[in-house]
Chain A
Amino acid sequence: MSGRLSPPKGPLNWFRLELPARPENVALVRVAVGSLASHLDFTLGEIEEIRVAVSEAFSNVVLHAYPEEGGAASGGTVTVEARAGGGVLEVSVSDRGVGIADVELARRPSYTTRPDRMGLGFVFMETFMDEVAVTTSPGHGTRVVLRRRLPVRNGAPSDGASGDERAGT
């Protein structure tokens, strides 16, 4: 519920990145988070889902948080914090941008402020993660926290077996 990262359980690995809100950095963030996720026993399919969710969160900042400066051109920074431990991956994406006036509306499927967009960012975040928490303050910024728990597989919660592709389409 809160925008805070929960206390670690078990061995923890983490990083904190601060970088400009530029389109080319979405790949950098997704590589970093995907790599951290692989320290837990997520399957390749699950890691792909996490990579999409994180890309959506970061893209939202680039697209919406810093409109005056043009977002891509200057100014705005994004802080990405990620931690993996205790069978949970948590990723926080925060900015000091304009904030979201109506979070409920912004999270609604197909809602977008831009006609060239599909309004699917939050849909993918919510579909691919177990929890999506948004805290925002108009004029001060937004923080999106994404959580994904490692599923219990065959009775064994983690370690060992490598990431087989998840079955099905």
Chain B
Amino acid sequence: MDIRSEKVGDVLVVRVSGELDLATAGEFRHRVDADLDRFGSRDVVIDFSELGFLDSSGLGALLGRYRRVAERGGRVAVSGCAPHVRRVLELSGVMRIIACHPSVREAVAAFGGDTSSASGGGVP
């Protein structure tokens, strides 16, 4: 698993590649928490477009980040979910509280953020 973080407007964007499972969930948890503090962002988009695998251990780590961010009044969205990732998110019920957008840009735009380029929606 590899994680790259950047700030798009005020939103923290975390791009996760590789596999998110029992072996990697801990590192995901630590990295996202550290980057939230480092970038001082309230809202976060977690991009799964390079994610090859997600199971309940990865979901647990995702939901844990959601709780932490929500406690501080922030929002979490995911983007770029392949069909197998989307299936796991749907089955778990996580998609009822964390929206999945086609792209990072659309996810940031849905937060009302500045994506610094054209269109992108604004769908809540």
Contacts and interface: CB of A to CB of B under 8 A. Distances in A.
A58 B63 CA distance: 21
Interface in A100-147: 116-118, 120-121, 123-124, 127
B97 interface: no
A169 B90 CA distance: 9
B91 interface: yes
The interface residues of chain A, by DSSP majority, are classed as: helix
B63 to A, nearest CB: 7
A23 B21 CA distance: 8
A51 interface: yes
Contacts of B120: none
A56 interface: yes
B21 A59 contact: yes
B64 interface: yes
Contacts of A148: none
Contacts of A51: 53
Interface stretch (A1-9, A24-32, A77-85): A24-32
B22 A124 contact: no
Given A49-B84, A59-B55, A59-B56, A118 B63 contact: yes
A36 interface: no
Interface of B: 19, 21-23, 53-57, 59-60, 63-64, 83-84, 86-88, 90-92
Interface of A: 23-24, 26-27, 30, 45, 48-49, 51-52, 55-56, 59, 62-63, 116-118, 120-121, 123-124, 127, 165-166, 168-169
16 contacts: A23-B21, A23-B23, A24-B23, A26-B21, A26-B23, A30-B21, A45-B84, A49-B87, A55-B57, A59-B56, A62-B22, A116-B64, A118-B63, A120-B92, A166-B83, A168-B83
